[in-house]
């Protein structure tokens, strides 16, 4: 199976690998969670896999940092890769993203990381707001798999 790839890879440009894990998290109203970074950009909850963390451990940590949630992971939606330039870090990134569905969640505390804001939106609005093509792909993939399960 071909891994979907988003963004433009510039020839002869050095890229820093940034492996990350994200979730599609739905509430009882059929809305999905988005996290808004301090720069205003929207992303799915999740983030960089640090050190020797597993994808699952990174998600567990990121959910507490960004949302104050514990989550139960469901289906693995797949991998999607992204090439992008971060003006904030002045770095070109190669970003393989690993995306999961959440089957249940519980708010257990305030987010442990300051600076991000979270919101609930319909999947369609989420697709429109999400900055990265790989995150848009993951929501579309989740919608396809959810429809197939019904």
Cα–Cα distance for residue pair 54/15, rounded to 1 Å: 22
Q: What is the pLDDT of residue 137?
A: 98
102 and 138 Cβ atoms separated by less than 8 Å: no
Mean pLDDT split into 10-residue runs, the chain, 150 residues: 92 96 97 94 97 97 97 97 92 97 96 92 98 97 86
Within 10 angstroms of residue 13's Cβ, the number of other Cβ atoms is: 10
3-class secondary-structure state, position 136: helix
Continuous H helices in 11-132: 55-66, 123-129
Cα–Cα distance for residue pair 145/107, rounded to 1 Å: 25
Q: What is the pLDDT of residue 39?
A: 87
Phi, psi of 7 (to 5 degrees): 85, 175
Q: What is the pLDDT of residue 114?
A: 86
Tokens found for residue 1: 């199976």
Reference 102, options 146, 50, 134, 147; nearest CA is 146
Q: What is the pLDDT of residue 150?
A: 65
Within 10 angstroms of residue 135's Cβ, the number of other Cβ atoms is: 25
DSSP 56-95: HHHHHHHHHHHT-EEEEEEEEEEEEEEEEEETTTTEEEEE
Tokens found for residue 58: 């990174």
Q: Report CA 36 to chain centroid distance, whole Å.
A: 11
């Amino acid at each position: 199976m071909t891994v979907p790839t988003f963004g433009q890879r510039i020839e002869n440009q050095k890229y820093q690998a940034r492996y990350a894990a994200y979730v599609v998290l739905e509430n009882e109203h059929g809305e999905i969670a988005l996290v808004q970074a301090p720069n205003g950009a929207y992303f799915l909850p999740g983030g960089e896999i640090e050190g020797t963390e597993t994808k699952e451990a990174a998600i567990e940590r990121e959910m507490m940092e960004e949302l104050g949630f514990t989550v139960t992971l469901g289906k693995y939606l797949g991998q999607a890769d992204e090439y992008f330039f971060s003006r904030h870090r002045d770095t070109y990134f190669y970003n393989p993203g690993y995306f999961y569905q959440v089957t249940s969640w519980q708010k257990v505390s305030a987010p442990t990381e300051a600076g991000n804001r979270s919101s609930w939106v319909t999947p369609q609005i989420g697709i429109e707001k999400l900055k990265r093509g790989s995150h848009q792909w993951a929501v579309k993939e989740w919608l396809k798999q959810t429809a197939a399960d019904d």
